Amino acid sequence: MTTDHETVYTPESRVSRSLTAAKKEMWRDVKASWDLARQLTLRDINGQYRQSLLGIFWAFVPPIVTAVIFIFLNNYKIINITETEIPYPVFAIFGTTLWQVFLHSLTTPLRVVEAAKPILTKINFPKEALVLSSLGQSLFNLGIKLIILIIVFFIFKIPLTWGVPCSLLAMGILILLGLGIGLFLIPIGLLYTDVSHGLSIITTLWFFVTPAVYPPPTSFPFSLIATINPVSPILVGARDLAVQGVLHNPISFCVVTILAMLFLMVTWIMFRLSMPILIERMSA
Amino acid sequence: MSTTETVIQLENVSKKYCKSLKRSLWYGVKDLAYEFAGSCKQRGRLRQQEFWAVDGISLNVHKGSTLGVVGPNGSGKTTLFKMINGILTPDCGKITIKGKVAALLSVGAGFHPMLTGRENIYINGSILGLSREEINAKFDNIVAFSEIGNFLDMPVKNYSSGMFVRLGFAVAAHCEPDILLVDEVLSVGDVGFRLKCLNHIKKLMDRGVTIIFVSHNMNPIRAICDRVVAIYNGKIIAGPDEPEPVLEQVQALFASRHLSQADHTDVPLGPPESLIDIHEVELLDLENRPAQTFSHDAVFKVRVHFTAHQRIENPSFGVEVKREDGVVCFINRSSHQQFQVDYIEGKGFFEMTIKGLFLASMGYITRVVITDSSITVPIVSKVGPKFIIKSPIPYSYNGVYFPEASWSFERE
């Protein structure tokens, strides 16, 4: 920025500005915030594990514990899960790990913006950095979780297919879906803490209506779980691609992917528009 | 360095806040809905429980000038700053800024307590808009300025508050903005560091950086600002003008407020009806002739003519002499020197005589005050004439004091 650069602040709604100008501004901010986003991501990851002896070990715990519980319940026939095409432990560990990846990307944006409140009210910086930092942290989390999946691959001697790289792509889509929903929650979530309280209950319920530890039901009305729940086709698709090398339901996978990308774009714009108003309420 | 090019232009800028939290949050939801709908009609009017924190302020700041902003707590200074910085959007009016703005609203914002000083320099730097390469280039200067030394690789949660502030200021000071907003941050840190910060700000001024400076302490404002504006209840009540007249008005205003609170009588806010008028301040030599230039060892008299509109018990008179660069040389008060006056009423004058100031050769500014018996609140204060001291040492001499000394020498 030079001295000639002129900035104007007015009360007008930013929706009323032209779309091309808005897109240009967004792109400029994304570029400007790249460095900062990297710094914030590293700061949060470093800060998170520095006071812990076991460090990233804690990232492995939740999916493994959940998977072990379901493997136990299934082995002793306490719950009755339909026969899976692949060994159940593989199925369950993949399911819970992918769910955790999604859950992390969903809850991170609100957590990141909440933690940035003191900076937001004191320094003017491109807010895109917070979105990119959330994405960075989710990708780091995915990287850690992949270690579990690699170990499972070795133990169960799963053959490597072309589905594996495709599966990584599907995991990326899962993260973007989570990010979109996470951004959607920010405007109200920052004003009212009810959102974060409610979120833990809703995501627990959501886990049970997602075919993570059981195969997608085929009989109505339970088949709705697979068709209405946007997480289902992506999560199931990622698992099928990795383990079996095939995508059983490509149409719903593609439809959800496209919708998730559109949703992310809309929520990102909403995030941009709402930040100035939210910052006002933080400092008020 | 001030030019006529306007770099900050505020046109009738207002900002409102809400007193109730519940309502504030609900208004937040409503504002979001209006923003998404592309409407801004809610912006310009007050809803229930809302008030104007900044109310119709218009102001132009020229490139390279230094503007001081004074006003009591809660008068809207920080809100104004946040709008200029783009953290908050105005509810009415328009703000036009030319150039890169950096704000020292709170130093060390964004520091992560678990990370070391070194890591936090990079993080804080990027939050303030520096790239990694820029930080690398300035890293050594930042560390030197902060005087952190050996503690650079210690987590900042173990820093003393002074170290924390020093590191925060050091990073912010190296941002090289076109416009720098400084808000109160200098009130922390020890005296040495405060002086260092002021010097740094002066260097930036010399480089043509436009500075807006908020402080409760009038001395730095006098020392560095070429214009001052006073804000109260979100409105400009004095200035922008040269520092002394504005600060005088402000002091008079707040003096009357304090008095009214002490008496439990209701004095409406606004320019006060003064209790005492000071008509004239004379500087006189030994023969009571008006003078502007004094020898360092000459008799120096200040005579102040005033009219007290009310009877004031046990007043105390004061004379302050300040070097032209803002360094206060002394403040003499009659009460400190066991000079008692039972009361004043109507016309009168007081006189202070010093047998020799023994100050260094330089220009000086006087200020006179009359306070009530508590000495804490000036009833009236007025800037007196300037004068020059001539000592045998030339003008460029830097010390404050030129004491009379006798010398001796012996061989052993």
Contacts of A243 (CB under 8 A, 6+ apart): A86, A90, A91, A94, A158, A163
Mean pLDDT, residues B355-378 taken together: 80
Task: Give a yes or no: residue A40 inside a domain.
Answer: yes
Residue of A nearest to B208 (CA): A3
Task: Give a yes or no: residue A11 inside a domain.
Answer: no
Task: Give a yes or no: residue A28 inside a domain.
Answer: no
Domains, in order of start, for chain B: 6-244 (3.40.50.300), 274-390 (2.70.50.60)
How far apart, in whole angstroms, are the C-alpha atoms of residue A60 and residue B69? 54
Chain A residues near residue B95 by CB distance under 8 angstroms? 8-10
Choose among A46, A50, A279: nearest Cβ to B88: A279
Task: Give a yes or no: residue A80 inside a domain.
Answer: yes
Distance, CA of A167 to chain centre? 16
- Any A CB within 8 A of B122 CB: yes
Chain A residues near residue B25 by CB distance under 8 angstroms? 191-192, 281
Interface predicted TM-score of the whole assembly (ipTM), two decimals = 0.78
Task: Give a yes or no: residue A8 inside a domain.
Answer: no
Note the pLDDT of residue B258. Answer: 47
Q: What's the domain count of chain A? A: 1
Instruction: Report phi then psi at B368, rounded to 5.
Output: -120, 145
Predicted confidence (pLDDT) per residue in B130-170, tens digit: 888 888 998 998 888 888 888 888 888 888 877 888 888 88
> Taking phi first (over 0 means left), then psi (-120 to 50 degrees means alpha), and beta for anything else, what does residue A12 get?
beta
Which residues 180-199 in chain A show a CB within 8 A of chain B? 187-188, 191-192
Min distance B80 CA to chain A CA atoms (Å): 12
Full residue range of the structural domain in which residue A75 is found: 35-283
Choose among A5, A120, A191: nearest Cβ to B99: A5
Question: Cβ–Cβ of A10/B44 closer than 8 Å?
Answer: no
Question: Cβ–Cβ of A46/B96 closer than 8 Å?
Answer: no
Predicted confidence (pLDDT) per residue in B76-116, tens digit: 888 888 888 888 888 888 888 888 888 777 766 778 787 88
Predicted confidence (pLDDT) per residue in B325-355, tens digit: 777 888 888 888 888 888 898 999 999 999 9
Considering only CA atoms, give the Rg of chain A: 21
Which residues 26-65 in chain A show a CB within 8 A of chain B? 35-36, 39-40, 43-44, 46-47, 50-51
Is residue A162 packed enough to be buried (19+ CB in 10 Å), middle (13-18) or exposed (0-12)?
Answer: exposed
Task: Give a yes or no: residue A241 inside a domain.
Answer: yes
Give me the residues of chain A with pLDDT under 50, please: 1-3, 284
Task: Give a yes or no: residue A14 inside a domain.
Answer: no
Task: Give a yes or no: residue A30 inside a domain.
Answer: no
Which residues 244-303 in chain B show a CB within 8 A of chain A? none
